A = this chain, B = another copy of it.
Amino acid sequence: MKRFTTTAIAIGLCFAGFAQDTPDAAIVQKIRKEGLENSKAMDIAFNLTDVAGPRLSNSPGLKRAQNWAIKQLSDWGLKNAHLEAWGTFGKGWQIDKYYAATTLPFYHAIIASPKAWTPGTNGPIRSEVILIKADSVADLAKYKGKLAGKIVMMDRGTALTSGTKADFSRYADSTLAQMAAATPTANAGRQRPAGGPMADRMAQMMKLRQAQAAISAALLEEKVGLILTYARGGQGTFFTSNGASYALDAKPVSPELEVAAEDYLHILRLLRAGKPVEVEADIKTSFYDQDPQGYNVIAEIPGTDKKLKEEVVMIGGHFDSWHAATGATDNAAGSAVMMEAVRILKAIDFKPKRTIRIALWSSEEQGLFGSRGYVSKHYGDPKTMVLTPDQKKISAYYNLDNGTGKIRGIYLQGNEAAAPVFKSWLTPFNDLGATTVTINNTGGTDHQAFDAVGIPGFQFIQDPADYNTRTHHSNMDTYDRLVEDDLKQSSTIVAAFVYQTSQRGAQIPRKELPSPQPARP
């Protein structure tokens, strides 16, 4: 019943909004021309990836990229480009050297990466590899006193199969139609039901993690030289996303190497067959703990309307990445698109009514910390739902963080009243493949921080490309995976959405305020 009422209100808003949401064809045309014909998106991405390198939270690579972005945003004429601390993160870390190879039964260099926030080997080491068959600390008894300085691996790993599906894909029209046809009911529950198979699986996972932590502690006590860990993937691609603790007071851990599936399984098959394997390695890593603060990059195009300039439209994407590659699709792509969007608006000399603010978040990969810290400081606390006065002054936050894929539409995040607004705004870009407005939620990235305190926060629908198959947290998330035409299209559409939001008579309609969420998962 309540839901029915809400829908009626939404339709009312729809008609009310339509006139003010008809895009100004001339400005949209200027944005398109600048965005599609004079794009700097790939240059930006080049600087974030090839030049700055991996951008793990609080690493020198992230700082390089942040400094470059601040200068670049300022050079384009944005105001007040600066680093803003969001809270305490912990230690930075980077790889200074990585080398490993099997030397027995034959020489073969290993594709791998040191696990984030793990120490190095303290110089070159070489040892037989010891296969650890253990599900619990008790199982480790038989190895007692035999592991000091040794290279060890757990008896785990999944046989590979070769891909019978293409790595790269775009959304089919039918999939987009399904998204468009989704109803609020399907997304009604904010809370996962208690118990059930999901809860069982979570409990099981938690148990496994505890066992692994206990085993890791025991291996540290045995002073193992290096742990080899199976890294999911195949054909030279491997995925990494489990760092050790970055806390200032983190307990020491053993040196650990995440090894590409082929190389890991090679050693595992040999050990299981009782054949000796010897590995040599030389790993150096550095920790940075002088400034444990985490920082976001913030910059603005100030509003020009006497009244509305106090209001804000925000865009952003996370700037940090994992460490095994240069985080091109996760999320130099989204960052470059957002930077390019404000560049486009400056290039066409657009004077917004509302202030436009870009945020390049850090520590998204560790739990949306940068955006959550920012929101908590500026807009309110989702745990208590105590809100600041500024919470009312931000019209919307738009996010991009799903890889290189072009924009196909937008997730309403359950905000029905925004549907007709966005449908209208997408119209001039229907020819570029952006058509779909879905009531669906999407998660896992920074718009959630805004949504959690009742600010309209949105993530665009993007073509999957090879995000899940090849790039997301992988060692192959490089500049090569960026599709130039897609970044151009996305930047153009984001620029147009920002333009519309900054000029719109009213703010973007809001959902009901969420309830306080004291126990955030």
**Which A residues form the contact surface with B (CB < 8 A)?**
46, 50-54, 60-61, 64, 94-99, 101, 105-109, 111, 113, 159-160, 162-169, 234-238, 260-262, 265-266, 269-270, 273, 275, 326, 465-466, 470, 475-476, 478-481, 483
* Min CB–CB distance A268 → chain B (angstroms): 10
**Contact B51–A275 (Cβ < 8 Å):** yes
Known A50-B269, A54-B108, A234-B480; 18 more pairs at CB < 8 Å: A50-B266, A51-B105, A51-B275, A52-B106, A94-B107, A95-B109, A97-B101, A98-B107, A98-B109, A111-B111, A160-B480, A162-B167, A167-B235, A235-B236, A236-B236, A236-B260, A236-B476, A266-B326
Interface centre among A108, A273, A275 (most CB of B within 10 A): A108
Interface centre among A53, A95, A476, A479 (most CB of B within 10 A): A476
With known contacts A162-B168, A164-B169, A236–B46 Cβ distance under 8 A: no
**Contact A262–B480 (Cβ < 8 Å):** yes
* Min CB–CB distance A358 → chain B (angstroms): 24
Q: How far is the CA of A95 from the CA of B52 in the complex (A)?
A: 32
**Contact B106–A235 (Cβ < 8 Å):** no
Interface SS, A side: mixed
**Contact B236–A480 (Cβ < 8 Å):** no
**Contact A163–B164 (Cβ < 8 Å):** no
Q: How far is the CA of A376 from the CA of B478 in the complex (A)?
A: 51
**Which are the 5 A-B pairs with shortest beta-carbon distances?**
A236-B236, A53-B106, A162-B168, A160-B480, A163-B167
* Min CB–CB distance A62 → chain B (angstroms): 11
Q: How far is the CA of A128 from the CA of B465 in the complex (A)?
A: 35
Q: How far is the CA of A50 from the CA of B269 in the complex (A)?
A: 8
**Contact A162–B481 (Cβ < 8 Å):** yes
* Min CB–CB distance A370 → chain B (angstroms): 22
Choose from B98, B238, B266, B478 the contact partner of A479 (Cβ within 8 Å): B266
Q: How far is the CA of A478 from the CA of B263 in the complex (A)?
A: 9
With known contacts A99-B99, A99-B109, A101-B97, A46–B273 Cβ distance under 8 A: yes
With known contacts A53-B105, A61-B106, A480-B234, A164–B168 Cβ distance under 8 A: yes
> For A96, what are the chain B residues with a Cβ–Cβ distance below 8 Å?
107
* Min CB–CB distance A364 → chain B (angstroms): 20
Chain B minimum-CB-distance residue to A275: B51
**Contact B235–A476 (Cβ < 8 Å):** yes
Chain B minimum-CB-distance residue to A167: B163
**Contact A163–B166 (Cβ < 8 Å):** yes
25 contacts between A and B (CB under 8 A): A46-B273, A51-B105, A51-B270, A51-B275, A64-B106, A94-B107, A95-B109, A96-B107, A98-B101, A111-B111, A162-B168, A162-B465, A162-B481, A162-B483, A163-B168, A163-B466, A164-B167, A167-B167, A167-B235, A235-B235, A235-B470, A236-B237, A236-B476, A262-B478, A269-B479
Choose from B107, B235, B261 the contact partner of A237 (Cβ within 8 Å): B235
> For A270, what are the chain B residues with a Cβ–Cβ distance below 8 Å?
50-51
* Min CB–CB distance A476 → chain B (angstroms): 5
> For A108, what are the chain B residues with a Cβ–Cβ distance below 8 Å?
53-54
> For A265, what are the chain B residues with a Cβ–Cβ distance below 8 Å?
479-480
Chain B minimum-CB-distance residue to A108: B53
Q: How far is the CA of A425 from the CA of B383 in the complex (A)?
A: 74
With known contacts A162-B168, A162-B465, A273-B46, A262–B51 Cβ distance under 8 A: no
Chain B minimum-CB-distance residue to A265: B480
* Min CB–CB distance A484 → chain B (angstroms): 9
Q: How far is the CA of A483 from the CA of B465 in the complex (A)?
A: 28
**Contact B97–A107 (Cβ < 8 Å):** yes
> For A164, what are the chain B residues with a Cβ–Cβ distance below 8 Å?
166-169
Q: How far is the CA of A225 from the CA of B364 in the complex (A)?
A: 42
> For A166, what are the chain B residues with a Cβ–Cβ distance below 8 Å?
163-166
> For A169, what are the chain B residues with a Cβ–Cβ distance below 8 Å?
164
